[in-house]
Chains A and B, each alone.
Chain A
């Protein structure tokens, strides 16, 4: 199985930490970066150069966050050039059971799937096998 880079975006430090650990346990990660603010993550994605042979990056995105929510992040992400967007697979992560939120985040073309919190090594493995 090929490896992936990961970006975790979650306002909760603990959730970031858990996600990072679980991703590492899955054994399928090359690099894991955590951001507690979506705007910083967005800046990172914008600033990063993309090369053809780069690994695919999986973005684990919390939906409900203060200042810049997962929705806001996706709105900004969608404005990026296609050659950048191609390199990222966004997985929305949520503890919200609100159907509107789930439908709304699903409606973004770049959102590949939605996972319920907390993240487990198994759910990551299942997810990656679908990519």
Chain B
């Protein structure tokens, strides 16, 4: 059963308050107040009150004045005035100024109040839904701004590099020099490609639904090993893996792979040139319904002052390798969806260890 709608009734006549509460307390949660001050206190304490009824004629304040105050503090609750015919001018004025949703004439009958509540509740639901949608839209706009900003740099950057390289090649005579330019151009194309793939990941994460399945960590790690073995052989990086799974782990496989892939590709990418024992280690374990992953490398590491920011969108802590500033942001975003956590420890020139924990769904 859904929670009862919360209603506040303000009237200086205690008989009316008692009568109102007696009539409606079974169907709704009814709060009553005999003065405007008392009503404000109740509203402060119960911000989820949806509908306020108020008598127009009270000793110190009119209902319209009270509603004006309420509206300035919190515009969400639906305001309904209770009044006799004699106050009709005040009612028209209040409706026109947008302070009240409708009015109920005095003396009221239960049916009037109930229909007012039902209508008001519909209106409340619609407008609060709109408020939620609006704030979602605002977040989306902000992201889009950030996005458009980076796109101009991250897509145009490599492209203008390639264009410039083509112009340079026109001046060149030696095949060797041209080959070198082609190599540089290839890197630019790769960079652009990585960027576009990350954009794809980013949007899948933003819009995608989670598909929870049972995960076989042995298999996930074996797939990753297959992908990275080529890389580890070519660059003489020792890649060791360790898996321990004796219980079921349920998770979204795409998100999990995205997380591990990004962390591993960073571990392989940010190696120290000249290091003779380059190492990357991946450990995956499940214990008491939580999966723990550790991705460790002995590469360039991350300086302490960058550690807090590496998960921010488009943040880059180094110029040495082709990064998009997208990877760790996507990792963090995916972990947020999976209720997971990530920690990083690092010492410059000694390496970095990322520790991820994800609860089984």
Contacts and interface: CB of A to CB of B under 8 A. Distances in A.
Contacts of B153: 64, 95-96, 98
Given A25-B171, A97-B156, A98-B152, A18 B317 contact: no
Interface stretch (B97-105, B181-189, B199-207, B338-346): B181-189
A18 B319 contact: no
A15 B164 contact: yes
A96 B171 contact: no
A12 B149 CA distance: 18
Q: Which of B160, B165, B315 has the most CB of A within 10 A?
A: B160
A12 B157 contact: yes
Nearest to A25: B171
Interface string A21-36: 1100100000000001
Contact of B164 (A65, A96, A98, A117): A117
B157 A66 contact: no
Interface in A100-127: 116-120
Interface residues of A, number: 26
B161 interface: yes
B254 interface: no
Contacts of A18: 161, 164-165, 167-168
Contacts of B156: 95-97, 117
A17 B162 CA distance: 11
Contacts, number: 80
Interface secondary structure of B, over-half rule:
helix
A51 interface: no
B125 interface: no
Interface in B38-72: none
B164 A118 contact: yes
B318 A67 contact: yes
Contact of A97 (B152, B161, B317): B152
A98 B165 CA distance: 24
A116 B164 CA distance: 11
A98 B319 CA distance: 22
B316 interface: yes
A18 B317 CA distance: 24
A22 B157 CA distance: 17
A54 B225 CA distance: 57
A118 B316 contact: no
Contacts of B184: 13-14, 17
B301 to A, nearest CB: 14
B163 interface: yes
B188 A96 contact: no
B38 to A, nearest CB: 51
A95 B319 contact: no
B318 A117 contact: no
A83 to B, nearest CB: 30
Nearest to B148: A98
Interface string B301-337: 0000000000000011111100101000000000000
A21 B173 CA distance: 13
Contacts of B185: 14
Given A14-B165, A21-B171, 4 more contacts: A18-B165, A25-B171, A64-B153, A97-B156
4 closest cross-chain pairs (CB), A and B: A118-B164, A66-B316, A18-B164, A117-B160
15 contacts: A14-B165, A14-B188, A15-B160, A22-B164, A66-B318, A67-B318, A95-B157, A96-B149, A96-B152, A97-B152, A98-B153, A116-B160, A117-B160, A118-B163, A118-B164
Interface of A: 11-15, 17-19, 21-22, 25, 36-37, 64-67, 95-98, 116-120
